[in-house]
Amino acid sequence: MTAAARPRDATQGAAAPTTLLVLGLVAFALTVGVVSIGRAAVSLQQGTAAADAAALAVLTGSTLAGGDGSPALEAAADVTLENGATLVGVDLAGWPHRVLVVVAVDIGLPLVGGLVTVEAAAALRPP
């Protein structure tokens, strides 16, 4: 007697390729997430450096720093652009020559994107 052949199921043996596909997609998503977080962290650090440098550049126009007494706003804008950011605003708050600089940085995330603002302050006190 011969055993009757069972009909073969069309989905039989598909578990391994499906598992590999799902694991590959998860690994890809995790890689994109880690790279995006790294890019955002670098962009924020770049924005902080640009804001700090711009705040110091504004104060170079002070008489205490050997300037002519007017804030060096053009120098701040130039420094900000050189650091890959955009100068949003400068707040000059009286004595002791305190300045608050806000810059915008594009964090460039693939799915979120958008601009982030970073603030920095600098003060110049008399000797």
Q: What is the pLDDT of residues 49-105, one digit of tens each?
A: 887 888 788 778 776 677 777 777 788 888 888 877 777 777 776 666 666 677 777
Whether the Cβ atoms of residue 96 and residue 89 lie closer than 8 Å to each other: no
Domain count, the chain: 1
- Does residue 6 lie in a domain region? no
Per-residue pLDDT of 103-127, as tens digits, reads 777 766 666 666 777 777 777 666 6
- Asked whether residue 2 is assigned to any structural domain, the reply reads no
Give the integer Cα–Cα distance in Å for 118 and 127: 29
In a domain, 100, yes or no: yes
* Residue 116 forms part of a structural domain: yes
List helix spans (H) across 60-124: 73-82
Residue 7 falls inside a structural domain: no
Predicted pLDDT of residue 124: 67
Domain around 76: 32-123
Residue 91 lies in a domain: yes
Q: Between 19 and 100, where is the model more confident?
A: 19
- Is 20 inside a domain boundary? no
| pLDDT value at residue 28 | 92
